[in-house]
Chain A
Amino acid sequence: MKARKVTYSLASTALFLLGLGILTTSYELVAVSIIPLLFLAVPYHVSAKVDYAKLSGGNHIGEEFEAEVKLVATGFGILKAMHELPNHFELVEGANAVATFVLGRSDVIIRYKARPMRRGKYRLDRIVLEIEHPFLAWERYKELKVDLELEVKQRLRRITKVETIRGVARSPMPDIDISRIGVPGTDFREIRDYVAGDPMKFVNWKATARRNKLMVNQYEVEGKKAVWIFVDSNTYMTFGKTIRNYLECAIEIANALAYYFTSRGHKVGLYVIGHGICLYPDVGKRQFKRISEELMRIEAGEESVDQAFENCKKLLSIYKPLIILITRPEYSKPTRFVSEAIKAKIPIQIIALKGAVEGDEFALTLFEILRRSSLKSLRRANMIEWDIDKPIRQLMVRVVG
């Protein structure tokens, strides 16, 4: 219970009269000093319960949703009800808080339209009730729970046309590269020496006779090259606005890339640098869903890129995937990461995010020089610099097109 302005006003009047009454030994003044307090003693009580609560839309960032919550309030007093929204929700129409004077029974409907501005799984289950004295002398708080949940995903940037160029395995375009592991298909690749465990049906008898040692046919394996997306989620990625920062941009890019490659039959893996979360490369829509859900949950963490590489080193040497590292190289300094990948003949693509930095001219120039020098050390990797404020679609065309 919290005292209000009117409470202080009446209490000070009562004290003034009481003081004067005691000073003048006046029974009348002491007797009337209680009167202002009687106004404060007027009882009030409001109880409320949820009749229904519904939510529609808002499954993607920036997509409007409509919420409606009906409360049934009974009692006497002023009821203020607020459907609590997370910080990065933008109210579009209506209000998520209403006030009403309750005398007996009253229906309270909270109806509004809002827009989520950040990905995540949100529980919109809190209704905060502020019950006030009819003369606003006191207030107390209550809370109601409703069963409302909203899952906000990144809006998927789809690429429809991609220019494909045939290249060697270490090309950053894996669309036409063949996977190193998988089920052998019917396309002949080469003849090689027999290795224990090779099926007898693959033995090339003519070549065996010619060379006088067992030779087997090697066929191309089915499936396309694996792609492994490394998303940096260290704290330096969260610089900027809550709704649009480096991390949000990285997640959006990763999501779009994951969709693009999974929909084209590639094995796609994910590693979240900062939390050590690793999803092994796999194919199909289910894998995309898993990646997408994992991306939705990402918050800032702490882990070096070198540590991330060490964690997946074994798998990387098996799959030899295309690594797409989305980071801020000036902070993450992935020099060792790049050299280790190149040494292991693993193609690597870095998407270096950059954003608008505010400050005086000298500081900005200095910052840019330092950034450039850190990027220079990574010139052996394929690198794209990307401004986080630009639409992702353009970047997608540059990466995969």
Chain B
Amino acid sequence: MKVKILNLILAEIAVFIVVSIAGASPLSIFIPIKFLYLIAILPPVFSLLGRNPFDFPLFVILIAITSVKVLSNSELFYSLLDALYYLGFRSFAEYLNSIFVAYKSNPNISALSALVILFSVSQISWTIEDKFEELKLEIGYPLAILGIVALVIYLFYPTVLSFRAYGFPLLFLGLIGVALIVVATYLLAST
């Protein structure tokens, strides 16, 4: 029950963050932002259905809304507009381009990372609750640690990501390096 309430709060915060992102995205031109607050009904509904209030479908909806802003920085999106232009939908392509170009900005992951962190916390807490009950363990400790870890990630992840080498974030290069080592070890072990 504790976890259900916690996840309900997390889901509502996530909805609030996403509506804020949507307000500063091209979506605000197509849909009145106040209608997006209707999404806030979903967490209690999920809760009443006995599901996790911050369930994966809600996360997909929130990511989809957020992605509209992401599209303004997406090369693929502009290539699609070029294709539309080439295929004869010139005015429509120009119209979309004029809207999205206006929202082009430097990548900022803080709001998106908050959304992902909230979802991850809700997934973890929802999954471990039953197991902890089964083991007759207090869930307080893991939840406190989860909160601390989430806060650390939120505060330091963007900073870590800003460390770059050869134009790429060091974190990505590190992950690619680890993956290569794992693959190399596997290949060497299998021969």
Counting CB contacts under 8 A, is B153 at the interface? Answer: yes
Q: How many B residues, CB 8 Å from partner?
A: 43
Residues 67-112 of A at the B interface (beta carbon under 8 Å): 78, 80, 99-101, 103
Q: Residues of B contacting A42 with CB < 8 Å?
A: 145, 149
User: B73 to A27, Cβ gap below 8 A?
Assistant: yes
Closest A residue by C-beta to B70:
A26
User: A31 to B76, Cβ gap below 8 A?
Assistant: no
Residue from B60, B71, B74, B109 in contact with A31 in the complex, judged by beta carbons closer than 8 Å: B109
Counting CB contacts under 8 A, is A5 at the interface? Answer: yes
A97 to chain B, nearest CB (A): 9
Give the distance in Å from the alpha carbon of A78 to the alpha carbon of B135 in the complex.
10
Give the distance in Å from the alpha carbon of A243 to the alpha carbon of B117 in the complex.
54
Give the distance in Å from the alpha carbon of A27 to the alpha carbon of B171 in the complex.
13
A45 to chain B, nearest CB (A): 14
Q: Residues of A contacting B71 with CB < 8 Å?
A: 24, 26
Q: Residues of A contacting B135 with CB < 8 Å?
A: 78, 80, 99
A-contact bits for B129-152, CB 8 A (1 contact / 0 none): 001000111100110011001100
Counting CB contacts under 8 A, is B107 at the interface? Answer: yes
User: A36 to B116, Cβ gap below 8 A?
Assistant: yes
Interface stretch (choices B7-15, B24-32, B40-48, B120-128): B120-128
Interface stretch (choices A9-17, A165-173, A214-222, A373-381): A9-17
Q: How many A residues, CB 8 Å from partner?
A: 32
User: B116 to A28, Cβ gap below 8 A?
Assistant: no
Give the distance in Å from the alpha carbon of A6 to the alpha carbon of B146 in the complex.
13
Give the distance in Å from the alpha carbon of A5 to the alpha carbon of B76 in the complex.
34
The verdict on A6 contacting B124 (CB below 8 Å), with A29-B112, A39-B149 known, is yes
Residue from B77, B119, B149, B150 in contact with A13 in the complex, judged by beta carbons closer than 8 Å: B119
User: A31 to B70, Cβ gap below 8 A?
Assistant: no
Give the distance in Å from the alpha carbon of A6 to the alpha carbon of B52 in the complex.
13
User: B113 to A25, Cβ gap below 8 A?
Assistant: no
User: B120 to A134, Cβ gap below 8 A?
Assistant: no
Give the distance in Å from the alpha carbon of A99 to the alpha carbon of B135 in the complex.
6
Counting CB contacts under 8 A, is B191 at the interface? Answer: no
Residues 93-115 of B at the A interface (beta carbon under 8 Å): 107-109, 112-113, 115
User: B137 to A78, Cβ gap below 8 A?
Assistant: yes
A356 to chain B, nearest CB (A): 38
User: B70 to A29, Cβ gap below 8 A?
Assistant: yes
Which residue numbers of B lie inside 8 Å of A, CB to CB?
56, 59-60, 63, 67, 70-71, 73-77, 107-109, 112-113, 115-117, 119-120, 123-124, 127-128, 131, 135-138, 141-142, 145-146, 149-150, 153, 157, 161, 169, 171, 175
9 additional contacts (CB under 8 A) given A6-B127, A35-B153, A78-B135: A16-B60, A20-B63, A29-B67, A29-B112, A32-B109, A36-B120, A39-B124, A101-B142, A135-B128
Which residue numbers of A lie inside 8 Å of B, CB to CB?
5-6, 9-10, 13, 16-17, 20, 23-29, 31-32, 34-36, 38-39, 42, 78, 80, 99-101, 103, 134-136
Instruction: Give 25 CB contacts A-B under 8 Å.
Output: A9-B123, A9-B124, A13-B119, A13-B120, A24-B77, A25-B76, A26-B70, A31-B107, A34-B157, A34-B171, A34-B175, A35-B113, A35-B116, A35-B117, A35-B153, A36-B119, A39-B153, A42-B145, A99-B136, A101-B137, A103-B141, A134-B146, A135-B128, A135-B146, A136-B127
The 9 residue pairs across chains A and B that have the minimum distance between CB atoms: A99-B135, A6-B127, A25-B76, A26-B70, A24-B74, A35-B116, A32-B116, A25-B75, A36-B120
